[in-house]
Copies of this chain bind each other. A is one copy, B any other.
Amino acid sequence: MFADTASFHRWFDRRRRAHAYRVTRVPLDRLDGWSPADGSGDLRHRSGGFFSVRGLDVTCSGRAVDAWQQPIIAQPEHGILGILVKEFDGVPHCLLQAKMEPGNVNLVQLSPTVQATRSNYTRVHGGRPVPYLDHFIAPRRGQILSDALQSEQAAWFLAKRNRNMIVRTDEDVPVLEDFCWLTFDRIAELLHHDDLVNMDTRTVLSGATWLRRPVAAAAGEDSFDAALARSWQPGAPARHTTAELLSWFTEAKAGCTLQRRLVPLAGIEGWSLRDGMISHDRGRHFTVIGVRVEAPNREVSGWSQPLFAPRSQGVVAFLARRVRGVLHLLVQARVETGALDRVEMAPTVQCQPADYAATTLGGLGAAARPPFLDVVEAAAPGSIRFDTVQSEEGGRFHHARSRYLLVEADDGFPDEVPPGYAWMTMRQLMTFVQHGNHLNVEARSLLTLLGFLPEDHAAARRRPVAARV
């Protein structure tokens, strides 16, 4: 436990320096333990575990680009992302760990108590047991606070889901050397640092927003904070009923025409294996690279694996507006290429803006730019209520970073929005999260970032968006 945030950072820096991690690039065709399977070119581990990289053929997407092929990560098994919670002097604390993932821009970030694929915890790789796992595997002794199967980046994963769990315990819990107890308030502060709280922690915490300190809004008070506080209240007056929102979501699923099928990675159109990497021929999206990892304190001390490396930084943003004093977020029913049920609730804007540069440079062109990206990029500094750069999962993605923003729309913004969009309160989103399979991972991350806004968030950096993306 830390007396202040500075002492956390001192501890975290020590943990970061305590291990001699090394990540080096290796050509995909010389990746130890991974070999292209039987002429298909698919990348598989010799154990049959972990994940594989395969080809995906997409048609009838209904997006600006209707059909394409791409590499995709197939990882059908569910892992566990679990956070252990315990009260000390009546204050709940989360057990988080300083964990190295090879794709992290800074290698070490704050992870959940347990972050383990099934291959990890059944020890396909023959490594060390996963600490604290018994708190999350039945029969459990603790109290379940939240437990749902949730999707992950559907642009890069096919039907990948992890079990997101929060378990409260009263037992004595030994604290291993890379682990620490943090209050929700402390985590709220840390969420405002770039690249510190990892994606897995953020998605699990989206199931815990109801545990955060309740903030009361004085009646009639006209600030952003008051509108946000009201938006979390049970029974907050909402623009749409839950029945209407569920119908809007069903409509999007029923109208979705997306077709997808796995194809051999070797032959996919628009991508080439060159210099030991698989890259998009026009320089868009991402590149599949290979790395060799040395990590003395992980379950196994060295391994090799492929990683997906985005070509540019992402933008993940909710537009917000106040409806009768209650903050509402503009949610998108998004066709998610790899999602099990094909459509999920997503932030207003979620893309890599660089992909939409002028066509002559290999970009998709301005005509394909997603709706509302212009509004986000043109946002005045005063309307940006939240703004940090966060990392996506470093176990599969290399330096995958996105700018996460909450932008308050000005009064001129239309109340009526296109059919694939709907205004929702924080409370409504919080309820959908509990059921799993509703919000995508980017929306859950943003919900956590907003759900744990610290007291002094108004001092958050306010920079013109276009300058940073």
Residues of A bordering B, CB below 8 Å: 78, 80, 138, 144-149, 163, 165, 242-244, 246-247, 250-251, 253-254, 340-341, 419, 434-437
CB distance from A10 to the nearest CB of B (A): 37
CB distance from A60 to the nearest CB of B (A): 12
CB contact between A436 and one of B250, B251, B340, B419 (< 8 Å): that residue: B250
User: What are 29 residue pairs bridging A and B, where the CB atoms are less than 8 Å apart in the complex?
Assistant: A78-B253, A78-B254, A80-B254, A138-B251, A138-B419, A144-B243, A144-B244, A144-B247, A145-B243, A146-B243, A146-B247, A147-B243, A147-B246, A147-B247, A147-B250, A147-B251, A148-B246, A149-B253, A149-B254, A163-B250, A163-B254, A165-B247, A242-B434, A243-B434, A246-B436, A340-B340, A340-B341, A341-B437, A437-B437
Q: Which residues from B are CB-within-8-Å of A436?
A: 246, 250
CA distance A430 to B437 in the complex (A): 19
Instruction: Identify the closest chain B residue to A162 (Cβ).
Output: B254
Instruction: Identify the closest chain B residue to A163 (Cβ).
Output: B254
CA distance A359 to B175 in the complex (A): 56
Q: Which residues from B are CB-within-8-Å of A163?
A: 250, 254
Q: Which residues from B are CB-within-8-Å of A165?
A: 247
CA distance A255 to B436 in the complex (A): 16
Q: Which residues from B are CB-within-8-Å of A146?
A: 243, 247
Q: Given known contacts A145-B243, A149-B253, A163-B250, what 8 new A-B pairs fall within 8 Å (CB)?
A: A144-B247, A146-B243, A147-B251, A148-B246, A148-B250, A163-B254, A165-B247, A243-B434
Instruction: Identify the closest chain B residue to A257 (Cβ).
Output: B77
Q: Which residues from B are CB-within-8-Å of A246?
A: 147-148, 434-436
Q: Determine how many copies of this chain the complex contains.
A: 2
Q: Which residues from B are CB-within-8-Å of A251?
A: 138, 147
Q: Which residues from B are CB-within-8-Å of A145?
A: 243
CA distance A146 to B254 in the complex (A): 14
CB distance from A138 to the nearest CB of B (A): 6
CA distance A250 to B147 in the complex (A): 7
CB distance from A240 to the nearest CB of B (A): 10
Instruction: Identify the closest chain B residue to A253 (Cβ).
Output: B149
Q: Which residues from B are CB-within-8-Å of A147?
A: 243, 246-247, 250-251
CB distance from A439 to the nearest CB of B (A): 13
CB distance from A85 to the nearest CB of B (A): 13
Q: Which residues from B are CB-within-8-Å of A243?
A: 144-147, 434
CA distance A80 to B246 in the complex (A): 16
CB distance from A130 to the nearest CB of B (A): 15
CA distance A78 to B341 in the complex (A): 13
Contact present for B78 and A149 (CB under 8 Å): no
Q: Which residues from B are CB-within-8-Å of A244?
A: 144
User: Of A146, A250, A419, which is in contact with the most chain B CB atoms at under 10 Å from its CB?
Assistant: A250
CA distance A80 to B255 in the complex (A): 12
**Top 6 A-B pairs ranked by shortest CB distance?**
A147-B247, A144-B247, A147-B250, A163-B254, A78-B254, A435-B435
User: Of A148, A242, A435, which is in contact with the most chain B CB atoms at under 10 Å from its CB?
Assistant: A435
CA distance A180 to B329 in the complex (A): 42
CB distance from A418 to the nearest CB of B (A): 12
CA distance A138 to B247 in the complex (A): 11
CB distance from A65 to the nearest CB of B (A): 23
Q: Which residues from B are CB-within-8-Å of A254?
A: 78, 80, 149, 163
Q: Which residues from B are CB-within-8-Å of A253?
A: 78, 149
